[in-house]
Structure 1
């Protein structure tokens, strides 16, 4: 799944993607953001040149992925992780595993509307290695002085608890 955010003149864009893949021998979860510019793509000795989207380094970008699972007793569990910084062309947060499902260390909590992460109201539970059931991916960046934010992506069984 992908979403896009364009500069005002549509000459550059951010591409945000999120995924949860469960194959028999390999599983992965994560989110990635990268930047592209609409520019001339090279051909052989100026033959077959055309215009299209090419990878580009921009002033700054970041991606945040909120992984969600359930602790015993159906207690919601979360882990939020961010990657990003200045002068980048890509930022990514991902995990993979051999076999079905990816486990990530999470703590009890929930996410409210507006993206606010709330602690679990019950007794404090330490981190636990939990199967990732869903994820929420957010990304933004700075291109040519313009702050761009992609629409967030929900993957799998991500539930906003309140």
Structure 2
């Protein structure tokens, strides 16, 4: 069971042979348990940054701190999956057709949040981009769960009608 989970997370099928270049770029010297531990640490760090950013929102210059910590938290949470499947496989999966729009919106909102705070000095816009970050990250994340997007869409259409 654990071997099958390892193959799925690493993106390798049972009989699939990787080329030398793919092995070098995708290989990790970390053991599976170390990869899972660092995934949890990185993901928890991302959540902690997001919570810390939210707590700092009410301090003077809190919006800047919030935007930075919230964005760093989302980046850390996103990067944590690199420990499970490797950075190359993660990038390939991020830009698959089913995730392409969510990935682009998420990355764009990460950058636009920081632009709104530091260059444009628009607090309301920064909050909107943080909300869009959350929504895009959620939509992106549930794309890894089979039929989750369909269930969410069905739930929303049922609630709206």
TM-score, structure 1 as length reference: 0.28
Higher relative contact order (CA 8 A, sep 6+): 1
TM-score, structure 2 as length reference: 0.28
Whichever structure has more strand as a proportion of its residues is 1
